[in-house]
Structure formats: C-alpha cells, structure tokens
Structure 1
C-alpha cells in the first residue's frame, strides 16, 4: 500500500513511521524488534525509510537503524 502511495504522490519519497504504545517505560527490546521489522518490511517493499519513532504518551523517541537488531 505504501509503495503504491509513493508511486502516485512522491516516487522518490521516503516514509516516516511511528509506532505507539501505552506507558512511559524506556525503550526496550520489544520496541527495537518492532522498529527493525518495520524497516525490514519497508526494505522488502522497496520503500526508503531512515528512522522509526516510538510515540509515547509524553514524548516521541527516535529508534535509529544502527540501534536495532538484525532481521532476516
């Protein structure tokens, strides 16, 4: 779906993705796995994504690709 949207509106565009969850506990392994899988799905779809953010009730935290586990 994102690939089709980019093809129509911004062929050379990139996407910004935010994952949200309740609570205010620090970034954990589950958050990092989610972000890694989002990056992997974008890559498989030919979509450029540089960064995933974690949206918490009181702040937004960047999850850089360098800090994420490897995916298959």
Structure 2
C-alpha cells in the first residue's frame, strides 16, 4: 500500500537559496568587512531617510507652487 504523505517540493529550492544567501553574506563580509555589509536595519534606516527626503522635496515643491500662484 503506497504511503499518502505529501511531498514538499519547495524544500530543496529553499535549502539551496538559504545556503546561497549564507555564502554570499560570508563572502561579502570577508571582502567588504563586517561593518560594510548591508543589514536589514541599515536598509530600513536608508528607506526612512529616503522617505523623509521625498517628503521634504514635496513640501518645498508645494511651497514654491503656492508662492507662484499668489
């Protein structure tokens, strides 16, 4: 009688991706130095800074357009 346990087709690709990511991180750390390897925290902070800069530019554009309208 054949077993009816499901086969996880995504297990192997996940293992390959995980291993590749770990290898890329280790190589990057050794080449760039641990302090220069991008982290999630650094990426999040860069996104916050970029959002703030875009907001500042939008406010400046709105101020300029408003002053031209008057």
Superposition TM-score, scaled by structure 1 size = 0.30
Highest RCO, 1 vs 2 (Cα 8 Å, sep ≥ 6): 1
Flag the structure with higher strand content: 1
Superposition TM-score, scaled by structure 2 size = 0.31
Flag the structure with higher helix content: 2
Q: Which protein shows a greater Rg? A: 2
